[in-house]
Structure 1
Amino acid sequence: MTHELWYFSIDRRPADRTVQDIAVIVSYLRHLAALTGVPPLLLSQLASVAYLEQLDSGVTLYRQGDRGTSWYAVLMGTLDVHVSKTGIVEDMNAVSRSLGMGSFFGESILDDSPRENTIVTREPCQLLRVEQRDFRALWQELLSPLSSQSQSKAEQRVASTSVILLAEDKAMLIQNVIMWSF
């Protein structure tokens, strides 16, 4: 598969994508570190709703305290995570960590909590973006095949672990829940 075909397919509005576009996108996504182990059906669903975001260096994706609107997976590039202990943007002077290819973030959209950090591109980046309503639908569909007891346990794990994790560390938890359900 050529990169031109991937860009052509992912660049279409999700509503305009053909079955062939979805297949091309899934073929590409299957090889990404951020989506290793994700079942083919879920990859297909992601391919039908995701957007490609191409950002230059120095772009602020969102700020600490903002309302979350999207979930992201890093396809290329590096982003810096800044956290202010006071919550004041001007107090953010140190990078707490970096996110590179294979990372994903933005899970605060599941519970409508404000963003707990500021994300800035360190270099040109390509991100896979899924809007909140689509991510929530995928999340609910992911949990629905589980039995009530398993779903309750998964939700309890998310809730209890979320309390002790920083927002950017929730990504690993989400990946674990995805793996537990299949």
Structure 2
Amino acid sequence: MLLLLLLLLLLLLLLLLLLLLLLLLLLLLLLLLLPLLLLLLLLLLLLLLLLLLLLLLLLLVLLLLELLPPPPPPPPPRLLLLLLLLLPLLLLLLLLLLLLLLLLLPLLLLLLLLLLLLLLLLLLLLLLLLLLLLLLLLLLLLLQLLLLLLLLLLLLLLLLLLLLLLLLLLLHHHHHHHHSQ
């Protein structure tokens, strides 16, 4: 009994998940393809109605099973019957979903292509950003290097000037000394 109830709950959850996926797909398609808005909305409403009916039916049957006094025969056959009743409905729903997917297949392909293009664009943008960052880093490093080089050059120039001054002083001194002799 519990096992079957759990199975039913699992089926319900699966249905809800399918519905959510479908909703997401439809939303994406609606965002992309505004001209087809009405048609998709109608399909979506139909699917929602179907799902709601299914859920209501399931809940009703569960309630009945809970409320009815347990008869002398064991209850699993009834639950099995319920499952057998639900299976065609589920199959019908799956068929509807397949039909919808077939209808939307070109749109889905287009959507996939668009998504892939978007991903590629994003990747390209990321690569560009990385390149820019690298360039900036290189520039900063180069700037630092340039500054260092400039400082070194200035120091060298100062040293050279000092040396020249010393040389001049020495020469002058020597010359003066020589002249005085």
Using the size of structure 2 for normalisation, the TM-score is 0.22
Larger Rg: 2
More helix by share: 2
Using the size of structure 1 for normalisation, the TM-score is 0.22
More strand by share: 1
